[in-house]
Amino acid sequence: MRVTARKLHGKALSSMRTAMTAFNSPHDDGRATVVLLHLQHSFEMLLKAALYQRGAKVFDKKTGRSISFDAAINQARQLAGLKVTEDEAGTLRAVDALRDDEQHWFNDVSEGLLYLHARAAVTLFDELLYRAFKQRLADHLPNRVLPVSTEAPQDLLTLVDSEYANIAELLKPGRRARGEARAKIRTLLALEAHVAEDTKVSDSDVDRVENGIKAGKSRQQVFPKLTPLAADISGEGLTVKVKIVKHADALPVRLVREGEDDAEMDAAAVREVDLQKKYHWPARDLAEKLRISAPRAAALREHLGIDDDPQCVHVFEFGSQKHSRYSDNALARMRDAVSSQNMDAIWESHGAGRRTKPRPPCTQSQCARTQRQEVS
């Protein structure tokens, strides 16, 4: 293992052990905070260790700092030998979203939801550790460790529905428990990271959900994006494994842009305002990443319909200038096509020669200038 990768690998294991120790602590004061902070850190270090070991870029050229957790997840989804799946990426994003509120503000994570995500995190960490370094988490734990929980893992939606009913009860007139209810709302909004990239929870999101619950809307109406989620639980005792998965019939995610009228929004909408974070690939960088020429990359984009897919491209407007930027979805689709399709045939069908429009006839002044140049 390379020296830097070994350092990151060691930090990942250290944070995972700290999270496990905190989860099994008999003291509740600050327990959830420690668990979430160290679970997120353990995954960030593990992903960066795997990326560095395989020679991937883990530093941002613009800032000179190591890449963000989101960027590490996106790279890990494309990395041969690691290939983080969409369900696994959702678990990583959800742990990060729960940690974000816990670190920068506060939320209220029930014991059932904390256990389910902690158990899913341990399962995923073990699998990623094996894919990246052919090691098992048990190899790095002493034999005396005794995983104990007084609760058996429950289905995710059962826990969500229980929390939703609890929030509705807290928001009833006369309860004076609005602060506690809003903390629980933040937790449920953070869980939407399982199905929605770049989920960021704001006060306006919490307001919208609170109003929906007070209006008597069902959980399915207020949190439709959570409906496809389920906990895949296997084994028992020491061998229990938890994976949070999304059913194939998942509902499409609605993205809400800054400035839209809140009155027209579903109570469950989660804002996505940092579009430059999601659409960060210029066309030339896509070509360089795929190791093909810019014209061939353009032909491939046309062949795949990349420039017509809002999940792949966004056009940023700066005054009179327009710049197209592409997402990791675009990169993934193009990379798959490069490895599985005939690029020469794509070039023949969509190459520059095929797409070149006939030049419009020149004006009288342009023609005269051309004739003078030819005479001279």
pLDDT in tens, 211-225: 999 999 998 888 888
Tally of residues, the chain: 376
Strand order across the beta sheet in which 313-318 lies: 279-281, 321-327, 313-318
155 and 246 in a single domain? The answer is yes
For the chain, the average pLDDT equals 82
Q: Domain end: 249, 271, 293, which one?
A: 271
- The mean pLDDT value for 216-241 works out to 79
**Pairwise CA distance, residues 298 & 294, whole Å:** 6
Q: Closest by alpha carbon to 120, among 241, 258, 287?
A: 241
267 and 282 in a single domain? The answer is no
Has residue 364 been placed in a domain? no
In this prediction, residue 299 carries a pLDDT of: 92
Domain count, the chain: 2
- Banded pLDDT at 228 (limits 50, 70, 90): confident
In this prediction, residue 364 carries a pLDDT of: 52
Q: Spell 88-97 as b/e; 16+ CB within 10 A means b.
A: bbbbbbbbbb
Contact 244, 90 (CB under 8 A): yes
215 and 87 in a single domain? The answer is yes
Q: Domain end: 252, 271, 290, which one?
A: 271
91 and 108 in a single domain? The answer is yes
For 286, the domain range is 277-355
266 and 300 in a single domain? The answer is no
Encode pLDDT of 41-71 as tens digits: 999 999 999 999 999 889 988 788 999 998 8
107 and 213 in a single domain? The answer is yes
Encode pLDDT of 73-83 as tens digits: 988 988 878 88
Q: Domain end: 271, 288, 311, which one?
A: 271
Q: Which residues contact 312 (CB under 8 A, 6 or more apart)?
A: 306, 326, 327, 329, 330, 333
In this prediction, residue 265 carries a pLDDT of: 47
187 and 240 in a single domain? The answer is yes
In this prediction, residue 210 carries a pLDDT of: 93
In this prediction, residue 266 carries a pLDDT of: 52
Lowest mean pLDDT among 31-35, 141-145, 280-284, 306-310: 141-145
CATH, residue 287? 1.10.1660
Q: Closest by alpha carbon to 119, among 143, 147, 141, 99?
A: 147
Encode pLDDT of 108-154 as tens digits: 998 889 988 999 999 999 999 999 999 999 889 887 765 555 556 67
Has residue 15 been placed in a domain? yes
What angle (nearest 5°) sits at the alpha carbon of residue 312, between those of residues 348 and 82? 95
What angle (nearest 5°) sits at the alpha carbon of residue 148, between those of residues 146 and 150? 165
Q: Is 80 exceeded by the pLDDT of residue 269?
A: no
**Pairwise CA distance, residues 150 & 191, whole Å:** 23
| Residue 83 Rama label (left phi>0; alpha psi -120 to 50; beta) | left
Encode pLDDT of 152-207 as tens digits: 667 788 888 999 999 999 999 988 899 999 999 999 988 888 877 667 787 888 89
114 and 185 in a single domain? The answer is yes
191 and 314 in a single domain? The answer is no
Has residue 373 been placed in a domain? no
Has residue 370 been placed in a domain? no
Has residue 253 been placed in a domain? yes
174 and 302 in a single domain? The answer is no
